[in-house]
Amino acid sequence: MRVLVSLFCGGLFGAGLVISGMTNTLRVQGFLDLFGMWDPTLMFVMGGAIVPMLFAWQIAARRKLSVLGGAFPVPHRTIIDKRLVVGSILFGMGWGLSGFCPGPAFASLSFSGASGLVFVVSMLIAMFATKPLSDRLFKQQ
C-alpha cells in the first residue's frame, strides 16, 4: 500500500510541476531575474504549496502516526551550520544557472532532451560525492 501511495503522490507532484510550468527552465529563471523580465508565476506556485502545508503540519502535529500507520520523520539535524549554508548556496547557484531543481528535473526528463539528462546525471554525481567531499572539507563538525 505504501508503494502505491508513494507512486500516486509522486505522480501528482510531477503533474503539478508540469501543469504549473515549473519544468520550464526559462520560467524559473524569469522568476529569479528581478531586474529584467520578472515572471511571478513561481511565487504563486510556492504559495499554492505553502498554504495547504500549513494546515497539514497542524493536523500532523496532533497525530501520533501517519495515515499509513508509520511514524512521522524527525530531522536528524536542526542546527544551521557551515554545511547547510554552503549546501544552500550551491543549490541556489545550480538552480539559478540551470533553472532546474531536483523535482522538476526528474519530471522533465521525458521531454527536456539532452540538457535535462545532463543536469540529472550531474546532480546524481554531486549527490553521491557530497558526503565524502563534505567530510573532508568540514572535518566532521
Average pLDDT estimate for 78-96 = 87
pLDDT of residue 72: 82
User: Predicted confidence band at 67 (pLDDT cuts at 50, 70, 90)?
Assistant: confident
pLDDT of residue 121: 92
pLDDT of residue 141: 52
Average pLDDT estimate for 57-66 = 89
pLDDT digits (tens, 9 = 90+) for 3-57: 999 999 988 988 888 888 888 888 888 888 889 889 998 899 889 889 999 999 8
- Per domain, the residue ranges of the chain are 2-138
pLDDT of 140 above 70: no
Instruction: Say how far apart CA 72 and CA 66 lie, in whole Å.
Output: 6
pLDDT of 98 above 80: yes
Which residue carries 522568476 as its cell?
31
Neighbours of 93 (CB within 10 A): 10
Which residue carries 508503494 as its cell?
3
User: Predicted confidence band at 64 (pLDDT cuts at 50, 70, 90)?
Assistant: confident
- Render the burial of 46-61: b for 16+ CB within 10 Å, e for the rest: eeeeeeeeeeeeeeee
Residue pair 107/14 in contact by the 8 Å Cβ criterion:
yes
Residue pair 5/16 in contact by the 8 Å Cβ criterion:
no
pLDDT over 70 for what percent of the chain? 99
Q: Concatenated DSSP letters for 73-140?
A: P--S-----HHHHHHHHHHHHHHHHHS--HHHHHHTTTTSHHHHHHHHHHHHHHHHHHHHHHHHHHT-
From the number of C-beta atoms within 10 Å of its C-beta (0-12, 13-18, 19+), residue 105 rates as buried
